[in-house]
Amino acid sequence: MKLVYTSGSNEGKEIELKAPFISLGRETDNDVQLNADEASRYHAKIEKDGSIWIVRDLGSSNGVRLNGQKIDESAPLEHNDELRLGGSVFSVIDPEKVGDDSDVTSATTAVGDKPAQAKSIKKGDESAQKRIRLMMTGLIAMILAVASGYLVPALLQEKKSKPQLSVEAVRKSRLKTSPLHVIYKHETSGYDAANNDYNLSLYEVVIDDHKLSVRVENLNDGVSLNPGPVEISEGEEMELKMKLLEADDFVKAESLPVKERDNSYDRLELMVRAGNRGNAVEYINESGLLPAAVVDAIDHIKGLVERKLDIPRMSRSEAFARAEELLLLGKRNYAEKRSEMLNLYKAIQQTDQALVILSGYKQTPEFFPELQELNNTCKKEHQLFIEDMLKKADIEERTDKERALERYRNILNHIGDINDRDYRAAREKVYLLERALKKDRR
């Protein structure tokens, strides 16, 4: 995909889009420097998300217009779109979709073939030939006038009024034709502290070729289930794709480090792929610190298993015991926030996970109000902490870029959601400061 200037002194100049993204604005440290006065210092960026190129407005004063319409925050780019950033106008070109000449050219060529028929007229009749040439010239001129007066404006109007598709709509269209592959596996062995017992268990789900396969083993309960694969509908598969591969999902999360324990082994693995989107996460003896998005994704998979094969996700007593265990971990991390603020973020993860587990049950345990209160308190204090960090980094950016860069990186470590507004702002600052410092060192 590339951009081509369609006006100004740079008309015809091409800009190749490169992953992960390019920045556009007046400042010289942008990938593309915009000379127009109407452009902001950091006007917009164009980033690749899977197979989709997305333009994002970075809070510019004049906004970003796509095919004549001002975008809210972001929008996907398609071949032949018109992109306006301040006074700079670009055409979006996808080399793989460049087609033949327009209908206007075809119409002109077709008419241009007509004079060849006049060659069959006798050479002696020069006056007749002259009259035919005049008639054909007038006819061509008239057709061109009609084409330029009606056809071209109509084509331009069609381009201007092209509906602005959302990123979600484009992603859904791309995912619809891509087969889904899912492997979810959770195996435990050894001493189970929650139940004060030793156990060996396995829960495995495989989705492939529109079929769902499940294997459940639990030594203590005497459970051994391995029903044959069942078909899943196109709608069910699409629902899973949108849930497991949406923009703010778990696939970009980093796995936590492996921790060995002598008395137990708990391994959770989740791999998802559809087309060119997907990733894998693995947690060993760290199931108490799963991001809420991972818990939600697993719960969605187990929900499908429950509907299709009548295999329950988790008994109510197990769910309540697990949620209470997470509450206790959250309270401990909250109490230790003064020694390390990252513990506050861990407390948010644990209480979020507990709330997700309990959301599937109509009846709630006695500790539920305490869990909600702790979750809300942690989130409020965490937001104030991040806001304070951002203010300090903004001041340091003018006096000490190195220190500001370190603080922005620290902010990224304290925010787990890559689509969080503050996370995106800090990531942009890290990118720009790294470039500025590299330029200063030269």
pTM: 0.44
Reply yes or no on whether the pLDDT at 330 is more than 50.
yes
Asked if residue 75 lies in contact with residue 164, where contact means CB atoms within 8 angstroms, the answer is yes
pLDDT cut 90: percent of the chain above it: 14
Question: In 3D, which of 255, 244, 243, 247 has the Cα closest to residue 282?
Answer: 255
Could you tell me where the beta strands, DSSP code E, fall in 255-331? 264-274, 277-284
Segment 137-170, tens digit of pLDDT: 666 655 555 555 555 455 455 555 555 556 666 6
Query: What stretches of 234-284 show up as alpha helix (H) in DSSP?
Result: 234-244
Q: In this structure, which amino acid lies at residue 442?
A: R
Asked if residue 273 lies in contact with residue 181, where contact means CB atoms within 8 angstroms, the answer is yes
- Sign of the torsion formed by the C-alpha atoms of 19, 25, 29 and 31: positive
Reply yes or no on whether the pLDDT at 396 is more than 60.
yes
pLDDT cut 70: percent of the chain above it: 73
CA dihedral 388, 392, 393, 394 (to 10 degrees): 100
Asked if residue 25 lies in contact with residue 40, where contact means CB atoms within 8 angstroms, the answer is yes
Percentages helix, strand, coil for the chain, rounded to the nearest 5? 45, 25, 30
Could you tell me where the beta strands, DSSP code E, fall in 256-414? 264-274, 277-284
179 vs 206: which has the higher pLDDT: 206
Task: Identify the residue whose tokens are 């689509």.
Answer: 419
Q: Got the DSSP string for 174-204?
A: HHHTSPEEEEEEEEEEEEETTTTEEEEEEEE
Asked if residue 92 lies in contact with residue 77, where contact means CB atoms within 8 angstroms, the answer is yes
Q: In this structure, which amino acid lies at residue 284?
A: I
The span from the CA of 437 to the CA of 442, in Å, is 9
237 vs 150: which has the higher pLDDT: 237
Count CA atoms closer than 13 A to 333's CA, side-chain side: 24
The span from the CA of 122 to the CA of 10, in Å, is 53
55 vs 124: which has the higher pLDDT: 55
CA geometry: angle 140, 141, 146, nearest 5 deg: 100
Q: Is residue 1 classed as helix, strand or coil in its secondary structure?
A: coil
Cis ω before 115 (30° cut-off from 0) = no
CB-based contacts of 431, cutoff 8 Å, min separation 6: 23
Reply yes or no on whether the pLDDT at 14 is more than 80.
yes
Q: What is the mean pLDDT of residues 326-337?
A: 91
117 vs 351: which has the higher pLDDT: 351
- 33 has which bridge partners? 25
Note the pLDDT of residue 149.
53
CA distances from 290 to 72, 100, 437 (A): 33, 52, 36
Q: Is 95 exposed, middle or buried (0-12, 13-18, 19+ CB in 10 A)?
A: exposed
Note the pLDDT of residue 374.
95
Segment 341-388, tens digit of pLDDT: 788 888 998 998 888 888 767 778 999 999 999 999 999 999 899 899
Note the pLDDT of residue 68.
87
Note the pLDDT of residue 425.
84
Task: List the strands of the sheet with 69-70, edge to edge.
Answer: 14-16, 2-5, 88-93, 82-85, 64-66, 69-70
Confidence of residue 278 (pLDDT cuts 50, 70, 90): confident
For 55, phi and psi rounded to 5 degrees? -95, 135
Note the pLDDT of residue 114.
38
Least confident of 3-7, 65-69, 159-163, 317-321: 159-163
